[in-house]
Amino acid sequence: MGTQGDENVGREQLEPPLRVRFAPSPTGMLHVGGARSALFNWVFAKRHGGALVLRIEDTDASRNRPEWTQGIIDSLAWLGITSAEYEGPYLQSEYAGQHAQAQRTLLEAGDAYYCDCAREAVVARTGDSHRGYDGFCRDRGLSSAAGGALRFRTPDVGRTVINDLVRGEVSFEHAALEDFVIARGDGSTTFLLANVVDDATARITHVIRAEEHLSNAPKQQLLWQALGHTPPTWAHVSILVDHARKKLSKRRNKVALEAYRDEGFLAEAMRNYLMLLGWSPGGDREIVPWKLIEAEFELSAVTSSPAFFDVDKLRAFNGEYIRALPLAEFIDACQPWLVGKSAPWQTTEFDAEVFAALAPHAQTRIVLLSEIVPMVDFAFLPHPVRDEQSWNKAMKEPAEQILDAAIAAFADVEWEPVALKAAMEQVSLRLGLKLGKAQAPVRVAVTGRTVGLPLFESLAILGRERTLRRLADAHRALQQSRLTTP
């Protein structure tokens, strides 16, 4: 290795030793499986001082939509993979010229040939719809003018061995590889070739992708070689599966990263969880700082068996991350659900100071940020929500007396949690009830629900006037229903 000369230093910086890429097709929102692949690529690059390239494979015009491209970019950024973290995004559609050039190279070298066989004709000849292409046109010398597809001529004997960082060596017999299509009748290049040309152009050294591509690897490796390039090192990570152990799919499962973000999953929890699907920091560690993952991740330590995407465990991770947030950050993270169109109250009714007082009590009680709304809505809605189930459960027999007594007791107590609790304890004592029983009607009258934040802290924050009014409202409603339906 020559190290003399300043130009070499600069050159090495332009061409880092290791280059990886994430190459999604914009046929939908980024899904969790894709996100995991992106994360593996990103962390691998970080770990080894390499570069990450983002390439949008937008060559199927019929299924692509520009907004999906932006959605993918936004989702990646949410995970931490911002534009500063990668080269690109490059659009595959802009490299049609290079793809066409590769077609010519292959054709001229005799590695490819035109074929005008209809699928039915092939099946008719082989008598087997599972067999694949039979090589009928191999030596017919057809030209592109015939409007046929261009096929790659796979070797008849021998085998191709894929060197895979997570699976070891995987061997494929050439006899089992059909002459696959590399260009359509209209001249456009298919995935197998375009993907290879773009990777070679970007000088990709490691192709890290999901296992569903494993069977493409031998074909692509042959293409790399035919084009005169050294094939990359491969790494096929396992797929993510659903409850039925089937590959996660857009139509069967909820997989869009955006959907999880909108529900209130934290990006940090999501990426920590995704990394643990197939990889472990070792020992008994699971929830770990991202820095540690970047420092310790090893592709060779990634499991090769499929992993179930377990939302329950993701939720547990999210709860942990929410609780670990400094209060100010927790308050900040809740904002999207508190102000704006999704909030059930007018923005003018929201009071940041009141929320700040409520927040510490809510932080240990929610698993998704979106759950903050029913926790605190009593403080911002003019009237508490009326949850029928809660009402029916709490507003039973001694409820009217309890409300009565509470109104009297709260009329002149010192308005702070300890005094409020003491007053309520007096009430329950007098009625021969446990505090847990006696607080229920009060809680429902004031917050609308049987479960929620600690009651006396909530009352203290709500204020005497509003509390008393709600107690009276509930009392009146109870009286009325007693009179109308005996």
Residues 14-53 touching RNA, rule: CB under 7 A, are: 25
Shortest distance, position 82 Cβ to RNA, whole Å:
23
Catalytic residue among 250, 393, 421, 434: 250
The answer to the question of residue 191 lying near RNA (CB under 7 A) is yes
- Is residue 453 near RNA by the rule CB under 7 A? yes
**How many C-beta atoms surround the C-beta of residue 121 within 10 A?**
12
Q: Which is nearer to RNA, 173 or 349 (CB)?
A: 173
Q: Footprint of RNA on residues 322-361 (CB under 7 A)?
A: 323
Sole binder of RNA in the list 91, 214, 267, 368 (CB under 7 A): 214
Dig out the tokens for 340 from the structure.
């704006």
How far lies 472's CA from each of 8, 401, 403, 411, 442, in Å? 82, 12, 8, 12, 10
- Which of the stretches 125-133, 253-261, 397-405, 478-486 binds RNA when contact is defined by CB under 7 A? 125-133
* 37, 103, 160, 216: which one binds RNA (CB under 7 A): 216
Question: Taking CB under 7 A as the rule, does residue 97 contact RNA?
Answer: no
Residue in 3, 4, 230, 305 binding RNA, rule: CB under 7 A = 305
And the tokens for 116? 């005008």
The least CB distance from residue 277 to RNA, in Å, is 5
Q: Is residue 167 a contact residue for RNA (CB under 7 A)? A: yes
Does position 12 bind RNA by CB under 7 A?
A: no
Of 3-11, 127-135, 395-403, 404-412: span binding RNA (CB under 7 A) = 127-135
Q: Which stretch binds RNA (CB under 7 A): 58-66, 260-268, 345-353, 466-474?
A: 58-66
DSSP 113-170: EEE---HHHHHHHHS-TTS----TTTTT---GGG--EEEE---SSSEEEEEETTTEEE
Q: Provide the b/e sequence for 4-40 (b: ≥16 CB within 10 Å).
A: eeeeeeeeeeeeeebbbbbbbbbebbbbbbbbbbbbb
Question: What is the rounded CA–CA span in Å between residue 479 and residue 486?
Answer: 10
Kindly state whether residue 280 participates in binding RNA, applying the rule CB under 7 A: yes
Pairwise CA distance, residues 397 & 482, whole Å: 11
By CB under 7 A, tell whether 185 contacts RNA.
yes
Q: Which two tokens stand for residue 174?
A: 């050439």
Q: How many CB atoms lie within 10 A of CB 245?
A: 8
Residue placing its CB nearer to RNA in the complex, 16 or 398: 398
H-assigned helices in 305-387: 311-324, 327-338, 352-363, 372-380
145 makes contact with RNA (CB under 7 A): no
Options 67-75, 209-217, 378-386, 396-404: segment touching RNA (CB under 7 A): 209-217
119 binds RNA (CB under 7 A): yes
Give the per-residue contact string, 223-262, with RNA (x = CB under 7 A; - = no). ---------------xx-x--xxxx---------------
**Who's near 181: CB < 8 A, 6+ residues apart?**
115, 149, 150, 151, 152, 190, 192
Please, what is the minimum distance in Å from the beta carbon of residue 5 to RNA? 40
For residue 231, cis peptide bond before it (omega within 30 degrees of 0): no
The count of chain residues that interact with RNA, using the rule CB under 7 A, is 87
CB of 130 to RNA, least distance (A): 3
Whole-number minimum distance, CB 106 to RNA, in Å? 15
Per DSSP bridges, beta strands 159-164 and 112-115 are unpaired
Which DSSP string do the residues of 439-464 spell out, in sequence order? HHHHHHHHHSSSS-S-HHHHHHHH-H
Task: Report the distance separating Cα 399 and Cα 132, nearest Å.
Answer: 76
Q: Report the alpha-carbon angle 207-208-213, nearest 5.
A: 90
46 catalytic? Reply is no
Does position 365 interact with RNA (CB under 7 A)? The reply is: yes
Instruction: Work out how close the CB of 239 gets to RNA at its nearest, in angstroms, rounded to a whole number.
Output: 6
Specify the residue, 6 or 169, whose C-beta has the smaller distance to RNA: 169
Please choose, out of 75-83, 162-170, 256-264, 476-484, the segment that lies near RNA by the rule CB under 7 A.
Answer: 162-170
Q: Which residues are within 8 A (CB) of 119 and not within 5 positions of it... i.e. 6 or more apart?
A: none
Residue from 85, 134, 263, 320 in contact with RNA (CB under 7 A): 320
Q: Which residues inside 367-426 make contact with RNA, applying CB under 7 A? A: 417, 421
Q: Which two tokens stand for residue 41?
A: 């690529």
Tell me the catalytic residues.
250
